[in-house]
Amino acid sequence: MGKPETESRRHFLRFLAASPLLAAWLPALAQQRVASEVLKASDALNVFELESIARRNIPPAHFGYLSGGVLDDRTITSNRQAFDAWGLRARRLIDVSNVDLSIRLFGKPLASPVILSPVSSQRAFHPHGEAAAARAAGKRKALQILSGLTTVSLEDVMAAHGGEVWQQIYTSNRPEAGLKIAARADAAGAGALVLTVDLAGGMRRETKVIGARADTRDCGACHRQGPGYDFSRKKMFDGIDLAGIFAGQSDSLTWDYVARLRDVSKKRLLVKGIMTAEDAAIAVRRGVDGIIVSNHGGRAEESLVGTLDVLPEIVAAVKGKIPILIDGGFRRGTDVFKALALGATAVCIGRPYCWGLGAFGEEGVNAALRLIDEELASTMRQTGITSIAGITKTSLSKRN
């Protein structure tokens, strides 16, 4: 190749790199490559490749539900941007040949600090739904939190998992229904109850609606919000009088509901949806056993505040008295590491394992958990740490 031709090629590549056409072209090219080259779950390089296949497999309405937030989805973006505020301090010449990801939570061993968040209606992503996720989690000795709007019953999920499963509690707009679900979960042997408190008032989930519009099927019964929503398909509402139930949470719910839950179950009780130091302090005073820092994955409010942004103030307010879990935008092992370094006890993931479920069923869920665990172990080696307990803020560097 002559010099003029080489120079021309360089000019072309510089033009292409600066062109907005490249930004539009590369994602489509990547998705095409994933679809043609990732033929089984073990081929995936990261959870984003699982997302590309899930997008192809899952109907538009269901994928819109899975991927969207509220209004302009900007809080989903905020969750991801929060990780960019922190860099990693790499350490050298430390023996990191043996890295241990195991933790103990409420005295029980888990193979990893990565936990399955509650995600509703998983049979929308794969015919086996939550049971497939449970089998994968059980084989990896990972804790699973089952949604209050599950499409497979708690009893069946526990049988598929074979280990620790917690039950999320949605009170509905009739809080007495939540008490009945809590009593059922207690009787079934759930390891803990997780009261989700971030849906008061609600906001429009516009991406979900747009996805439903693009679907050729009749999606009204599944995706309608407000009067007409069909709770009869949600297995934890079996046997409950559904007259007048149309929302996941009551707008009149207060902290007094914690005491009402204690009346029907002595299981450990966590509150999910905490985003301020003030509410974290109240949770401690009210005697809850743990909290989950969460904005519902950007699906609760358009606050533009990421969960990792508020984690330090919540850790300071709790003062080590109860475990702090967190979810919201976790996609990589580096993300998990940063949350642990800032004081989280464990990290919950939602969309990544559901991408795996939609892509390859049980094997896809296993792949999502494995990939994040592998990335976490690699990050620990780069920072000279061999156990989860050794991860502290000293391994982070604040970026401008």
What pTM, to 2 d.p., does this model score? 0.89
**What is the DSSP secondary-structure string of 193-232?**
EEEE---SS----HHHHHHHHT-SS--HHHH--STT--GG
DSSP assignment of 311-330 equals HHHHHHHHTTSS-EEE-SS-
Query: Which has more pLDDT, 26 or 249?
Result: 249
Binned at pLDDT 50, 70 and 90, residue 223 comes out as very low
Q: What type of residue is 253? A: L
pLDDT at residue 1 tops 70: no
Question: Among this protein's residues, is 296 annotated catalytic?
Answer: yes
The Cα 101–Cα 388 span in angstroms is 6
CA nearest neighbour of 110 among 348, 380, 290, 371:
348
* Active-site residue, from 126, 161, 223, 296: 296
Vertex 155 angle, CA 230 and 352, to 5°: 70
- Report the distance separating Cα 379 and Cα 341, nearest Å: 12
Report yes or no: 113 and 141 within 8 Å, Cβ to Cβ: no
Average pLDDT, the chain: 89
Closest by CA position to 175, among listed 235, 261, 238, 236: 261
Report phi then psi at 268, rounded to 5.
Answer: -60, 140
Residue 184 pLDDT greater than 80, yes or no = yes
In sequence order, which residues have a C-beta less than 8 Å from that of residue 36 and are 6 or more positions away? none
* Residue 388 to residue 333: CA distance in whole angstroms: 12
CA distances from 44 to 34, 137, 359, 368, 374 (A): 8, 18, 10, 9, 13
* Of the candidate ranges 47-51, 66-70, 89-93, 230-234, the one whose mean pLDDT is the lowest: 230-234
What is the per-residue pLDDT for 20?
52
pLDDT at residue 80 above 90?
yes
Task: Calculate mean pLDDT across residues 96-114.
Answer: 98
* Mean pLDDT, residues 94-102 taken together: 98
Instruction: Quote the Cα angle for 137-273-388, to 5°.
Output: 50
Going from the N-terminus, what domains does the chain have, and what CATH number goes with each?
74-203+247-398 (3.20.20.70)
Q: If pLDDT is split at 50, 70 and 90, which confidence band does 375 have?
A: very high
pLDDT in tens, 295-330: 998 888 888 899 999 999 999 999 999 999 999 999
Of residues 27 and 281, more confidence is placed in: 281
Q: Poorest-confidence range of 98-102, 164-168, 251-255? A: 251-255
pLDDT confidence of residue 28: 56
- Asked whether residue 226 carries a pLDDT value surpassing 60, the answer given is no
CA distance 342 to 154: 33
113: amino acid identity, one letter: P
pLDDT higher than 60, residue 4? no
